[in-house]
């Protein structure tokens, strides 16, 4: 099953009702941004598997994706997402294989 939330607060509420095997988390969201959501999610569910994603450019020395990795995201991907790369990472994570977290 796939569940969708339009902001971090809704995402946390959805996860509390029915924890997911994997979370795809956008860094930039309304109400509760992705980094705040990631911190709250890992505080309540330390084993939650998270892939962070962001459309920010690569010109930044320290990006939001780097920050997401430091806060516990298992992988961090730039948008637009590469479909095949995403499928490989998701498949590996669901099988318990650690992803290469330097994907941006």
Domain assignment of residue 43, yes or no: yes
Domain assignment of residue 67, yes or no: yes
Number of domains the chain is built from:
1
Low-confidence ranges of the chain (pLDDT < 50): 61, 101-104
- Domain range spanning residue 73? 15-94
The CA-atom distances, in angstroms, between 41 and each of 79, 90, 92 are 22, 18, 21
Domain assignment of residue 21, yes or no: yes
pLDDT of 55 reads 83
The CA-atom distances, in angstroms, between 55 and each of 13, 16, 81 are 25, 27, 9
What 3-state DSSP class applies to 79? coil
Domain assignment of residue 53, yes or no: yes
Pairwise CA distance, residues 12 & 42, whole Å: 11
- Per residue in 38-57, pLDDT tens? 999 999 999 999 999 998 65
Domain assignment of residue 104, yes or no: no
Looking at residue 85, which CATH number applies to its domain?
A: 3.40.50.2300
């Amino acid at each position: 099953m796939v569940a969708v939330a339009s902001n971090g607060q809704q995402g946390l509420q959805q996860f509390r009702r029915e924890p997911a095997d994997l979370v795809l988390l956008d860094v930039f969201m309304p109400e509760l941004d992705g980094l705040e959501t990631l911190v709250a999610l890992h505080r309540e569910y330390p084993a939650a598997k998270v892939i962070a994603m962001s459309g920010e450019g690569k010109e930044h020395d320290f990006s939001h994706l780097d920050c997401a990795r430091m806060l516990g995201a298992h992988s961090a991907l730039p948008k637009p997402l590469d479909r095949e790369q995403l499928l490989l990472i998701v498949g590996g994570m669901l099988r318990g294989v650690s992803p290469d977290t330097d994907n941006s």
